[in-house]
Structures are given as structure tokens and as C-alpha cells.
Structure 1
Amino acid sequence: MQDIFTVAGKSVFITGASRGIGKAIALAFQKAGARVTGLGSRPESVDWMADSGITPLVGDVADPDFMPGAIEQVIKHHGTIDCLINNAGVNANVPASSTKDETFQHLLDVNVRGLFRACQAYYKARRKEGGVIINVASIAGFIAAPLNTAYSATKGAVLQLTRSLAVEWAGSNFRVNAICPGIIDTDMSARVTGSEGNRAKAEAFIPMKRIGKPEELVGAALFLASEASSYMTGQLIVVDGGVSAQ
């Protein structure tokens, strides 16, 4: 019987793969037999990839000219890209009243415009074959996120991009879905939880009473990249320990 959950042999391109959620997903896909290309923003951030069997790539998703060439480079190396995972993202733990315009613009450039350009470039390269896009969003895209208003706004945009692209490109055999993590134990969330006291408050707020691990996003990503989700598009998979159910 065919294993509909397999990603073996698939070519997968993951942005923001140097650490945290992106690194966990990249390692899991490589272990599952996929041919993985991981994008990091600095050469030193991807040094670990070669020893893990992952093809490293360095670049800035906020650069308007970067992504078309990156997509072309991955296709040249691996022959194709079966799945694009947009995980690159930045945060700014700043009160709305003191958020500077340049801070908001940087969040938009990476979290929204960078992601959209990646989707565009992938679509144009795979227009004849179709493909799979997984956007890593956040529960901050649909619940209030005090002190993270600008970040929350960008993640709300990612959710709407996911839904709209899913419908617009469904006829071209593209599936576009999103994963919405809650509080996950990464460098980015550490800036928000901060002190031990804030971490304890966060854990108390989560119904499962603990902060999630990056590896706990892997299952959703593998599922969405595989044939097991072949009739799913425009959907948001929430992985948040029950926070959004409250």
C-alpha cells in the first residue's frame, strides 16, 4: 500500500531554516528522505547544514530581487521544487504607541512582502506542474497580541495571503496552506517571554501548561507537504497547546 504521508524524494525549499522552527522542519524533512534546501540570512547561520545533508543557501527575503534567482538556483540543483515552506520571519516586541515606522516597514518587508515574492516566484517557475506552499504564520494573526501589534498585523496578512492564493491558484494545481504556531521555544519567542517570571505566566496561560517545542510543528508540515493532504487548500492548522480554543 502506498504511504500517502511520505515526502521521500521530494525537493523542499525552506526559508528561515537556520534555527528554531525552520531548522526543526528542515532536519525532519531530510530525515524523512526529502531533498532539502535551507535558506539563511547569513553564511555562518547555515554552516551546520552541509553536515546534515541539507543544501545551504544564503540570502535576504526582503530583497526584492533575490527570490526569483533563488528559486531558479534550487530548481537547477535539485531539478524541481515540490514544496515551498515560507518560514522566514521577524518580530518586534514593542508597544504600538512607540513602534517606529522603519520597524513596521521591516516587519512588512520580511513577513509579508518577502513571503509574497517567494510565492510569486515559485508559482511562475511551477505554473505548468503545480506545487505545494506552506506558510508559517502565527496565532497572533487572529488573536490579540499586545506589545506585538505590528507583528500581529503582518501575520494576519499572511493568513489572508494564504487563503486568497489558495483559491486563485487552485485551478493551476497549487495547494496553499498555513501552520499557525502558538508560543514555541525559539529565540524569537524568548524575546517576548523574556524573564523566568514572564515565561511562567505564559506557561500558566497555555491550557497544556508548557511552551511548545519547534519539533512539534514538524508533523503538520510533513502532513501538508504529503499526498495525505491532497484535497486541502486555504486551510490554517493551529499548533498552540490550546491557547486559541480558550
Structure 2
Amino acid sequence: MKTCVVTGTGSGIGQEVAVLLSHAKEYNNIAMLGRNIEAMRATEKLMDKMGMDISIWNIDFQYPEEIPSIIEAVYEKYGSIDCLLNIAGYTDPQSLLQTTLDNMEMTYKINVFSPFILMRESVRYMKKNGGKILNVASTAGMTPRPGWLSYSSSKASVISMSQTLTDELSEYGIKVYCVSPGRCATKLRKRLAPNEDPRTIMQPIEVAEVICDLISDEECCLDGQNIIIRKQIRK
């Protein structure tokens, strides 16, 4: 019985991933972590629950200190943690002269510190039998993005953490993946580019399909890279 822990399932990429995972049946148990309980319940209704155990765990990633007890509880419930998907994200785009320490701290708590603690606590259990970790970064973490200081720098950190942990965790048989989507029609993207028509850019399902391919049993050689997911838009 294999268990996947996934964040950000209330909407967008995370929601599409949860639905695809429920149909693929590679993981018997799916633990969805987040603060919007109603949104996660709505996602659960879209999932194929046949032969699966789907659970919802309430946590606000502004408070990463709460993560260890939840990961311990997930392990106690299922007896294993085999996959971790860090998909949840946050942004409040501001320029340097507008950005406050509170803005930076909030962004880093959700985008960097929480994934870090989720990985650390999951690996305590995952190292027994190996597994997979996938972090969702962004192309914003790769190139200059004026006005997006807190967000772009946090995603650069996610890319760096992923690459470092690829080597560090290889001794446990744990593969670490990192994907950097380009423009994708999510709620977060709407905050970054409020005037953009979401119909003209990549859709969450397209990113979700790549993620599910990477964490499948068949994939064995794409870890350790920053995998860019970008759709060519025809005008």
C-alpha cells in the first residue's frame, strides 16, 4: 500500500494532480494537506475513490511549525509515506521599494520553509523504503522578474533545494524532482498577471499530466533537473 502526500489540491495544478492520481491507482492512499477544507472536499468529489483511502488534513502553511505533527499522523494512519508533492504556493507581487519584511516572510514560509519541513519530516519515514519527492517551482525563479521579488526569489530557492537534495537523498533511494511551469492559468498566476486572458496560456491539467508521469513507477532518470514546462502559444 503506497501513500502520496500532496499540497495545493484545492484548485489549479494541485487539484488536477489529485484527480489524475486517483484514476492512476499507483498510490492507494492520498493525503491532501491545506487550509481550505471546503476546496479540498470539492476536489475529493472529483476523484475516483474506488479502492482508495483519501484523507484531508487541515494546515495553514503560514505556520510550518505545525507540519511535523501532521506528517507523523499521516504516517501513523497509513504506515508509509512513499511520495511527497509540494504544489501549494503563494505570491504578493511587489517591487523592491514596496516589499516589506512581512511580505518576504509570508512568501518564504509558504513557498520555501513549508516545503523544506515537509521534505525533512517525510524523509524520516520515506528513507526506509525509498520514494519520490516533487517540488513545483516556476520559470520565475530562473530569470529576472521585476516587481515579483519575493515570489521569484522563493522559487529560485525551491530549484536549489531540489537539486541539492537529489544528491543528498540518493543514498536512501529517494528521487527528487523539480518542475518549473511557465505561464499557467491558476489563481496564483491571476495575482501575478491580473489582465492576462487565462484562455490563452497553459492550463493546469497540462502541468498535472507531466507531474503524474514523473512520479509514476516507470520514470527513473529525470530527477535532479529543473524541468521546464512551457506551452508554445499560437497567436
Give the TM-score, by structure 1 length.
0.85
Does the CA-based 8 Å contact 2:165-2:176 persist in structure 1?
A: yes
Q: What is the Cα deviation at residue 239 of structure 1? A: 0.9
Q: What is the match of residue 173 of structure 2?
A: 173
- Give the whole-Å Cα distance in 2 for the aligned partners of 1:107 and 1:50: 27
Are residue 73 (structure 1) and residue 76 (structure 2) matched?
A: no
CA RMSD of aligned residues (A): 1.9
- Give the 3 Å change call, closer, same or farther, for CA 50–216 of structure 1 in structure 2: closer
Judge conservation of contact 1:176–1:233 (CA < 8 Å) in 2: yes
Secondary structure (helix, strand or coil) at the match of 1:48 reads helix
Report whether the alignment pairs 1:220 with 2:179. no
Structure-2 residue corresponding to 1:28: 20
Q: Are residues 1:237 and 2:231 paired?
A: no
User: Do the aligned partners of 1:46 and 1:58 also contact (CA within 8 Å) in 2?
Assistant: no
The alpha-carbon deviation at position 110 of structure 1 amounts to 0.9
| Partner SS, residue 45 of structure 1 | helix
1:17 is aligned with what amino acid? T
Q: Distance in 2 between matches of 1:58 and 1:73?
A: 12
* Equivalent-residue separation in structure 2 for 1:14 and 1:124 (angstroms): 17
1:15 maps to what in 2?
Answer: 7
| TM-aligned CA deviation for residue 159 of structure 1 | 0.3
**What does 1:182-197 align with in structure 2 at a 5 Å threshold?**
182-195=182-195
CA distance in 2, matches of 1:185, 1:168: 34
Query: Which sections of structure 1, spanning at least 5 residues, go unmatched?
Result: 1-8, 204-209
In the alignment, structure 1 residue 38 sits paired with structure 2 residue 32: yes
Residue aligned with 1:112, SS = helix
Gaps of 5+ in 2: none
Distance in 1, Cα, partners of 2:42 & 2:13:
15
The match for 1:3 is none
Structure 2: how far apart are the matches of 1:30 and 1:121? 24
Structure 2 partner of 1:207: none
- Counterpart residue identity of residue 135, structure 2: N
TM-score (normalizing by structure 2): 0.88
Aligned to 2:41: 47
